[in-house]
Amino acid sequence: MAKRSTKFYRRNEAEVMEALGLTPTKNSGAGWIEKSDGQSEHIICELKSTDAQSYRIRLEDLHTLEYNATVCHKIPVFAIQFLGMQETYLLVKPEVLSEAAKYLETGEYITANEFVGVDLTEHEELKPKKATSIKSSLSAREQFNREKEQRFRKERKSAT
């Protein structure tokens, strides 16, 4: 089979995200503001498409999706699309499955605050450290430049 173009994957990604009820992100989430391939008010989704009969999931991709979901307080969903069979599967963690199912059923999503029930009085208050200031002198600067120049000369000699 001929290799698919980037244009095909971008169009396909937008179609799948819209079919899932999500808004496709610009440039497949490569920008600074919007991450992942599609988002809604309560869901963030990453899509991986393949022509093969199998797909190898990288843990790094899942952790990146989870991080982005945590930052924007959304449910992380990982979508895998098998292009040959026109089938799409959604992957969520068991802890999030009930939240995702409730959202799909009712359209409501309440984010759980991770700090509810934590007694903050037991923890000591952290005080910011005072920034250390470094004073520079002419002699220190000249010594640094001499050392750098000597190191550069040694590297140049060893390269020849």
Does residue 92 contact residue 100 with C-beta atoms inside 8 Å?
A: yes
Kindly tell me if the per-residue pLDDT of 121 is higher than 70: no
- pLDDT, position 115: 43
Does residue 7 contact residue 44 with C-beta atoms inside 8 Å?
A: no
Of 57, 55, 26, residue with least CA distance to 39 = 26
Q: Is 92 left (phi over 0), alpha (psi -120 to 50) or beta?
A: beta
Q: Tell me the pLDDT band of 1, cut-offs 50, 70 and 90.
A: low
Domains of the chain: 6-112 (3.40.1350.10)
Calculate the average pLDDT of the chain: 79
- pLDDT, position 113: 46
User: From CA 49, how far away is CA 88, in angstroms rounded?
Assistant: 9
How far is Cα of residue 68 from the mean position of the Cα atoms in its chain? Answer: 5
Flag whether the pTM goes above 0.85: no
pLDDT digits 0-9 by tens, 64-119: 888 888 888 888 999 999 988 889 998 888 888 887 777 777 766 666 544 445 45
